[in-house]
C-alpha cells in the first residue's frame, strides 16, 4: 500500500543568508526516510529587494539531483512581490496539480530530521479530523533547545513560540503532562516553519490570505480550520531544526505583525467577545505605544493606526468577517479554548518590567474573568 503523497513547499527567496540556508536544507532533505516516489519538492522563488535571483544557482547545484538523491524538484519563479503568503499559495497550487494528499511547509532557514515526514503523516492518518500537524521545532543553533512546542495564541491577538529555549527533555516532560488532559496534543496555532497540512481541507477553506503578506498567516490558517471543527496538533516525534532568531526592531515586520494581529481579532471574534476584551485591548495599546517609542518603531505603530481606519482595510475585514461567521461551526469560547493570558518565552526581546510586573498579571486576571462570559 502506497504512503500518502506529500508536496514539500520550500521557498528559495534570496534572503541575506540564503547561501547557507538552502544548501543546509537540501542536504538534510537528501536523508528523508519516506518513499521517494511519494514526495514532490516544490521550490518557490520571487524577486527579492536585493534583486538577487537564486534560480540559476539552484538549477546548477541541485536540479541534477532531482528524483535521485533528492525528491523530484519543481521550481516556480515569478516576478510578483507577494510575500510569504502568496509564495506558499503558489506552491500549494502546484501540489494540487501533482495530486498530493498533504503539503508540508518548510522554512528556508530550517533542516529536517530524516524521520520528520514519516511521523507527521502517520499522525495525520490516525484521525481525519486533523487539519495540521506541526513538527516539534528545535533550534538549529542548539539542537537540544526548543524553538516551539506549538505556538501560543494570546487572546489579544499576539502569538509567540511556546516553550522557547526549553531543553528537549523539558519539552518531552511537557508533552507527557499535556497528554493527561489533552490526549491529541492540540495547540494554539501551528508554526508555518514546519507543518503538515491536509490538502482536501486546505482546498475547502484556503491556505493563506495573500493580503497578510507575512506574519500571522499561520494563525489565520489554523483558525480557518478550527472554526470548521478540525484539530491542529503537534507530533513530538516529527522533528525539524529552525535557525530562528527573534528580533524586536525590524520595522516592516513590526508593521505587518501589528496590522495582521488586528485582522485576526476583527475577523474571528464575534461582537460580544470583542467588546469584552476592549478595555484590556486599550490598556495594551497604550503599553504597546510606549514600548514602540522605547524600541524606536513608533512610526510603524502609527502606520498601523492609519491603516486600520482606512476604508480599504474595513472592506477587507467586512468580507473576511462575513465569510468566517457564515462558515464557522464552533463558538468563540471553543475557538479560544487554547488561548493564553500572558506573553512569555521570547527572552530579552520582551523582558521589560512593564510587561513582567504589570502587563502579564493584569492580562491574566482579566482573562480569568471575561473568558467565562464568552
Reply yes or no on whether the pLDDT at 351 is more than 70.
Answer: no
CA-nearest of 206, 210, 200, 233 to 221 is 206
The range of the structural domain enclosing residue 258 comes to: 251-370
Predicted confidence at residue 248, as pLDDT, reads 45
Beta strands in 205-266 (DSSP E): 231-242
CA-nearest of 326, 343, 338, 349 to 134 is 338
235 with 262, same domain: the answer is no
Predicted confidence at residue 247, as pLDDT, reads 58
pLDDT digits (tens, 9 = 90+) for 120-137: 999 999 999 999 999 999
Cell of 185: 496534543
265 with 233, same domain: the answer is no
34 with 160, same domain: the answer is yes
Reply yes or no on whether the pLDDT at 107 is more than 70.
Answer: yes
Considering the chain, what percentage of its residues have pLDDT values greater than 70?
Answer: 96
Predicted confidence at residue 249, as pLDDT, reads 44
Q: Which residue has the higher pLDDT, 339 or 249?
A: 339
216 with 311, same domain: the answer is no
Reply yes or no on whether the pLDDT at 82 is more than 90.
Answer: no
Contact (CB, 8 A) for 232 and 103: no
206 with 279, same domain: the answer is no
Predicted confidence at residue 61, as pLDDT, reads 97
Reply yes or no on whether the pLDDT at 43 is more than 80.
Answer: yes
* CA–CA distance, 284 with 354 (Å, rounded to integer): 11
332 with 301, same domain: the answer is yes
Supply the CATH number for residue 201's domain: 3.90.550.60
Which CA distances in Å does 339 have to 105, 151, 343, 354? 24, 10, 11, 21
149 with 212, same domain: the answer is yes
Domain boundary among 207, 242, 277: 242
Predicted confidence at residue 155, as pLDDT, reads 98
Predicted confidence at residue 362, as pLDDT, reads 96
Stretch 51-80: mean pLDDT: 95
Predicted confidence at residue 251, as pLDDT, reads 52
pLDDT digits (tens, 9 = 90+) for 233-269: 999 999 999 998 765 445 568 999 999 999 999 999 9
Question: Could you tell me the end-to-end alpha-carbon distance of the chain, in angstroms, rounded to an integer?
Answer: 47
260 with 342, same domain: the answer is yes
Count the domains in the chain: 2
Stretch 340-352: mean pLDDT: 74
pLDDT bucket at 87, cuts 50 / 70 / 90: very high
Q: Are strands 110-112 and 130-139 parallel, antiparallel or unpaired?
A: unpaired
Contact (CB, 8 A) for 367 and 341: yes
Average confidence score pLDDT of the chain: 94
What's this model's pTM, rounded to 2 decimal places? Answer: 0.94
Reply yes or no on whether the pLDDT at 347 is more than 80.
Answer: no
* CA–CA distance, 45 with 50 (Å, rounded to integer): 13
Cell of 313: 482595510
269 with 175, same domain: the answer is no
Domain boundary among 224, 242, 260: 242
Let me know how long the chain is. 374
Predicted confidence at residue 50, as pLDDT, reads 80
Helix 251-268 / helix 311-327 crossing angle, nearest 10 deg: 50
CA-nearest of 120, 99, 155, 117 to 35 is 117
Please count the other Cβ atoms lying within 10 Å of the Cβ belonging to residue 221. Answer: 28
52 with 146, same domain: the answer is yes
255 with 217, same domain: the answer is no
Contact (CB, 8 A) for 209 and 266: no
pLDDT bucket at 48, cuts 50 / 70 / 90: confident
Contact (CB, 8 A) for 167 and 234: no
Reply yes or no on whether the pLDDT at 350 is more than 90.
Answer: no
Least-confidence region, from 122-126, 202-206, 276-280, 312-316: 202-206
Predicted confidence at residue 220, as pLDDT, reads 97
* CA–CA distance, 322 with 342 (Å, rounded to integer): 30
Which residue bears the cell 467588546?
275
Domain boundary among 214, 242, 270: 242
Reply yes or no on whether the pLDDT at 169 is more than 60.
Answer: yes
Reply yes or no on whether the pLDDT at 299 is more than 60.
Answer: yes
Considering the chain, what percentage of its residues have pLDDT values greater than 90?
Answer: 85
Predicted confidence at residue 69, as pLDDT, reads 97
At residue 78, what are phi and psi to the nearest 5 degrees?
A: -145, 160
Beta bridge partners of 268: none
pLDDT bucket at 188, cuts 50 / 70 / 90: very high
Stretch 166-184: mean pLDDT: 96
Residues 6+ apart with CB under 8 A from 285: none
Domain contains 1: no
* CA–CA distance, 191 with 159 (Å, rounded to integer): 10
Contact (CB, 8 A) for 76 and 91: yes
Amino acid at each position: 500500500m502506497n504512503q500518502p503523497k506529500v508536496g514539500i513547499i520550500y521557498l528559495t527567496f534570496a534572503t541575506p543568508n540564503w547561501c547557507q540556508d538552502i544548501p543546509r536544507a537540501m542536504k538534510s532533505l537528501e536523508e528523508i526516510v519516506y518513499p521517494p516516489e511519494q514526495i514532490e519538492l516544490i521550490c518557490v522563488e520571487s524577486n527579492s529587494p536585493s534583486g538577487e535571483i537564486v534560480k540559476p544557482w539552484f538549477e546548477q547545484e541541485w536540479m541534477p539531483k532531482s528524483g535521485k538523491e533528492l525528491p523530484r524538484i519543481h521550481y516556480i519563479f515569478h516576478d510578483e512581490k507577494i510575500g510569504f503568503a502568496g509564495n506558499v499559495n503558489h506552491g500549494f497550487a502546484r501540489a494540487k496539480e501533482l495530486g498530493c494528499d498533504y503539503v508540508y511547509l518548510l522554512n528556508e532557514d530550517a533542516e529536517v530530521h530524516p524521520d520528520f515526514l514519516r511521523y507527521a503523516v502517520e499522525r495525520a492518518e490516525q484521525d481525519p479530523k486533523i487539519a495540521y500537524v506541526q513538527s516539534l521545532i528545535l533550534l538549529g543553533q542548539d539542537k537540544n533547545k526548543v524553538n516551539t512546542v506549538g505556538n501560543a495564541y494570546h487572546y489579544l491577538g499576539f502569538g509567540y513560540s511556546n516553550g522557547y529555549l526549553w531543553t528537549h527533555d523539558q519539552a518531552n516532560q511537557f508533552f507527557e503532562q499535556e497528554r493527561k488532559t489533552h490526549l491529541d496534543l492540540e495547540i494554539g496555532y501551528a508554526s508555518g516553519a514546519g507543518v503538515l497540512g491536509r490538502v482536501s481541507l486546505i482546498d475547502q477553506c484556503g491556505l493563506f490570505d495573500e493580503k497578510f503578506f507575512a506574519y500571522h498567516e499561520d494563525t489565520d490558517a489554523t483558525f480557518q480550520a478550527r472554526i470548521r471543527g478540525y484539530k491542529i496538533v503537534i507530533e513530538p516525534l516529527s522533528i525539524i531544526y529552525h535557525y530562528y532568531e527573534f528580533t524586536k526592531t525590524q520595522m516592516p515586520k513590526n508593521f505587518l505583525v501589528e496590522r495582521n494581529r488586528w485582522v485576526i481579532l476583527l475577523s474571528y471574534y464575534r461582537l460580544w467577545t470583542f467588546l469584552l476584551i476592549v478595555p484590556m485591548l486599550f490598556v495594551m495599546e497604550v503599553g504597546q505605544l510606549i514600548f514602540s517609542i522605547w524600541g524606536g518603531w513608533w512610526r510603524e505603530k502609527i502606520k498601523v493606526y492609519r491603516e486600520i481606519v482606512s476604508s480599504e482595510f474595513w472592506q477587507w475585514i467586512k468580507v473576511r468577517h462575513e465569510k468566517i461567521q457564515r462558515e464557522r461551526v464552533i463558538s468563540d469560547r471553543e475557538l479560544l479554548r487554547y488561548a493564553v493570558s500572558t506573553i512569555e518565552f521570547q527572552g530579552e526581546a520582551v523582558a521589560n518590567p512593564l510587561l513582567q510586573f504589570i502587563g502579564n498579571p493584569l492580562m491574566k486576571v482579566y482573562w480569568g474573568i471575561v473568558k467565562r462570559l464568552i
